[in-house]
């Protein structure tokens, strides 16, 4: 008889406090019984970005309410759970600690097994939660803090083909919004402005397209936008609404072109060894951008490759992906003790050299 598992997931690695209950029987598709997310956009809006200390305090205040609401919506109690899964990194350490301490308390009080989950693995496994796809598959993880091409071979087996060597796309979107006086989070704001803009008015650079690898760079693109903004301000004395829209459209198109080109290269490398499993999945907050999604769909259609993108609510940070990653870890026999540590850095591919360098706390993601 197939084992049925019900797991509570907790997520607090950045500025979203989340809890979810996910269940799965055997290899049947997983079921999201509840998914609660408390955002912090209003809390951080006046600062132009996420303030780690404020985020950590907000997580500590909201986690209990989040858990209670997730259980209530799922029609479950703690006694109905098989384990508790929590994001243990990477992320803002104060927020990660808030989630880990909450999960430890629940585990200690109930005796339920504790599972520490890599936040990036949560995103990378989301296509298995939503579409029940098999291994292996090519994964583009593109978010506020990360951008990587990964071959997912198992729940704890990822091979990185390439990634950003500086800013992540989501970070570049946020900084672009800040430079243009748009509200945070920057991704939706820039996308909304770009709808009314001319993407061809400003020809921004497409970094690293002259290289045959799968690495990306977005810091130079951000600098180019800053210079173009300053040029317009010097000429006109300020920016019109159309100027902002055109700058956003040009920036968004440059990011889209880079991701499309590098995805073609990553697909070529992936298909050399996996011709029988022509599937690419995309996840992370930037995957919610409609222009980027459409471009990636076009790349896959041309290559005859299946394209999988989760629903928008599961692209951004959520706890359902953490609960599902917990199901996979639980089935593999993994367990963590109450000494589970919160980790600000935690690469998915622990073999390949770090793209962003290492510090005293280890390799970055």
d(CA 346, CA 355): 13
pLDDT at 360 over 50: no
| Statement to judge: residues 163 and 119 lie in one domain | no
Is the pLDDT higher at 151 or at 185?
A: 151
More confident residue, 184 or 104: 104
Same domain, 279 and 321: no
pLDDT for res 44:
83
Same domain, 115 and 152: no
Task: Please tell me whether residues 80 and 159 are part of one structural domain.
Answer: no
Q: What is the pLDDT of residue 182?
A: 95
User: Do 209 and 324 lie in a common domain?
Assistant: no
Is residue 139 located within the same domain as residue 270?
yes
Residues 194, 302, single domain; the answer is: yes
Are 155 and 325 spatial neighbours (Cβ–Cβ below 8 Å)?
A: yes
Identify the domain containing residue 242 by its residue range. Answer: 135-313
**What is the rounded average pLDDT for all residues in the chain?**
92
Q: For residue range 152-191, what is the model confidence (pLDDT) as tens digits?
A: 999 999 999 999 999 889 999 999 999 999 998 899 999 9
Q: In the structure, what pLDDT confidence band is assigned to residue 355 with cuts at 50, 70 and 90?
A: low
Residue 279 scores a pLDDT above 60: yes
Does 139 share its domain with 122? no
Number of structural domains (the chain) is 2
pLDDT surpasses 80 at 353: no
**Between 154 and 143, residue with greater pLDDT:** 154
Question: Do 286 and 140 have their domain in common?
Answer: yes
Residue 20, strand partner residues? 9, 35
Work out the pLDDT band at 354, boundaries 50, 70, 90: low
Q: What is the pTM of this model?
A: 0.91
Q: How far is CA 221 from CA 178, 205, 258, in A?
A: 14, 6, 11
Strands 279-283 and 137-142: parallel
Q: Quick check: 242 pLDDT over 70?
A: yes
107-136: average pLDDT: 96
173, 302: one domain: yes
**Mean pLDDT value across residues 345-355:** 78
More confident residue, 198 or 358: 198
Alpha helix positions (H), 161-240: 169-179, 186-194, 219-236
Is 50 exceeded by the pLDDT of residue 37?
A: yes
22: CATH: 3.30.420.40
């Amino acid at each position: 008889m197939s084992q049925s598992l019900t797991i509570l997931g907790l997520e607090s690695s950045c500025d979203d406090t989340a809890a979810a209950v996910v269940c799965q029987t055997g290899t049947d598709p997983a079921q999201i019984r509840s998914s609660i997310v408390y955002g912090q956009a209003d809390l951080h809006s006046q600062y132009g970005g996420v303030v780690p200390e404020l985020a950590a305090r907000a997580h500590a205040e909201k986690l209990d309410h989040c858990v209670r609401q997730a259980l209530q919506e799922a029609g479950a109690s703690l006694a109905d759970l098989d384990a508790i899964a929590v994001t243990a990194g990477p992320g803002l350490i104060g927020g990660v600690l808030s989630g880990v301490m909450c999960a430890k308390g629940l585990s200690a009080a109930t005796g339920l097994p504790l599972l520490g989950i890599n936040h990036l693995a949560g995103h990378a496994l989301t296509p298995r939660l939503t579409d029940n796809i098999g291994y292996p598959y090519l994964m583009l993880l593109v978010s506020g803090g990360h951008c990587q091409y990964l071959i997912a071979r198992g729940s704890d087996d990822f091979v990185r083909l390439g990634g950003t060597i500086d800013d992540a796309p989501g970070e570049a979107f946020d900084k672009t919004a800040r430079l243009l006086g748009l509200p945070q989070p920057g991704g939706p704001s820039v996308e909304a402005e770009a709808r009314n803009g001319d993407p061809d008015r400003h020809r921004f650079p497409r970094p690293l397209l002259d290289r045959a690898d799968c690495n990306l760079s977005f810091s130079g693109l951000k600098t180019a936008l800053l210079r173009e903004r300053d040029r317009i301000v010097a000429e006109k004395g300020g920016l019109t609404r159309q100027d902002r829209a055109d700058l956003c459209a040009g920036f968004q198109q440059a990011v889209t072109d880079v991701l499309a080109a590098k995805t073609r290269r990553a697909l070529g490398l992936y298909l050399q060894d996996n011709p029988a499993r022509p599937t690419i999945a995309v996840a992370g907050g930037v995957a919610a951008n409609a222009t980027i999604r459409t471009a990636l769909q076009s790349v896959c259609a041309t290559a005859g490759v299946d394209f999988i993108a989760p629903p928008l609510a599961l692209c951004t940070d959520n706890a359902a992906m953490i609960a599902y990653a917990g199901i996979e870890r639980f089935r593999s026999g993994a367990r963590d003790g109450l000494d589970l540590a919160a980790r600000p850095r935690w690469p998915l591919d622990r073999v390949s050299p770090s793209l962003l360098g290492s510090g005293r706390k280890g390799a970055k993601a």
